[in-house]
Amino acid sequence: MLTLKNIKKVYEKSDEAVLDDINLTFNRDEFVSILGCSGAGKSTLLNVIGGLDCKSSGKLLINGKDIYKCNDSNLDYYRKNNVGFIFQNYNLIEHLTVYENVMLPLLLTNYKNKHKRVLKMLDKVGLKDKKVLNKKPYELSGGEKQRVAICRALINNPDIILADEPTGALDYKTGYEIMNLIKKLSKNKLVIMVTHNKVLAKNYSSRIIYLD
């Protein structure tokens, strides 16, 4: 489903490659964890996979199609429709409500019944209470923020979920609740998760990749 071929990434003003000759293949229905020490290039790799960092060399093939060779609108389409991102610090828009944060990616699509879709998605993560829908992110707990972020990542029904330390800012119990949610909602999807938590990786992944 997703193949990286000879991916190399050198940041500007640096003469050392962060990623060098990375070759990986990912399939639908896999839950892959990427482990490695801090600075190994895990987040960089996830950004490359998500099409957020296009200034790397090599090929990123999605169902055989080279995303880097596509024009900007193809790349935009890929980012908006094929991939959902979940970040450690949630990256919610602070001045928008819970409802609006989840609705935002949908506004760029032709989906019908957007309102119903948002409510259904929030219901799946246990946030259907009307009072919560109108709250701003600063009024939520960390676990609730990550639930909203999961809804936003999944609302366009992407095939690929990219999660960068999704439980990194949460306590142990809430972290497991969030992991269970990601697992439950990602059936028939490819999940690639960056983490430094080996236990979490072992418990949830079908494959672990160590980045040296």
Q: How many CB atoms lie within 10 A of CB 14?
A: 9
Token reading at 188: 């028939």
Q: At its nearest, how many Å lie between ligand ADP and the CB of residue 39?
A: 4
Site for ligand ADP (CB under 6 A): which residue of 38, 71, 110, 188? Answer: 38
When the beta carbons of 44 and 97 are compared against ligand ADP, the nearer one is 44
Give the tokens for residue 98.
């819970």
Residue pair 46/83 in contact (Cβ under 8 Å)? The answer is no
Single out the residue of 10, 24, 36, 79 in contact with ligand ADP (rule: CB under 6 A).
36
Q: Closest CB to ligand ADP among 38 and 188? A: 38
Q: DSSP alpha helices (H): ranges in the chain?
A: 42-49, 72-77, 98-103, 114-124, 130-133, 142-154, 172-185, 198-204
Choices 38-46, 130-138, 154-162, 201-209; region in contact with ligand ADP by CB under 6 A: 38-46
Say if residues 23 and 4 touch (Cβ distance below 8 Å): yes
How many Cβ atoms from other residues are within 10 Å of residue 138's Cβ?
9
Stretch that binds ligand ADP, among 11-19, 66-74, 77-85, 169-177 (CB under 6 A): 11-19
Segment near ligand ADP (CB under 6 A), from 32-40, 115-123, 173-181, 183-191? 32-40
In the complex, the smallest distance separating the C-beta of residue 161 from ligand ADP, rounded to whole angstroms, is 17
Among 15, 39, 110, 172, binds ligand ADP (CB under 6 A): 39
**Please, which residue, 12 or 72, has the CB nearer to ligand ADP?**
12
18 lines the binding site for ligand ADP (CB under 6 A)? yes
DSSP-based three-state secondary structure for 11: coil
Rounded to the nearest angstrom, the gap between the alpha carbon of residue 7 and the centroid of all alpha carbons in its chain is 20
Phi and psi angles of residue 186, each rounded to the nearest 5 degrees, phi first: -110, 20
Q: Which of 31, 42, 162, 177 binds ligand ADP (CB under 6 A)?
A: 42
φ, ψ for residue 25, nearest 5 deg: -125, 135
Which span sits near ligand ADP by CB under 6 A: 41-49, 105-113, 133-141, 168-176? Answer: 41-49
Residues 150-189 that bind ligand ADP (CB under 6 A): none
DSSP state of 160: E
Query: What residues make contact with ligand ADP under the rule CB under 6 A?
Result: 11, 14, 18, 36, 38-44
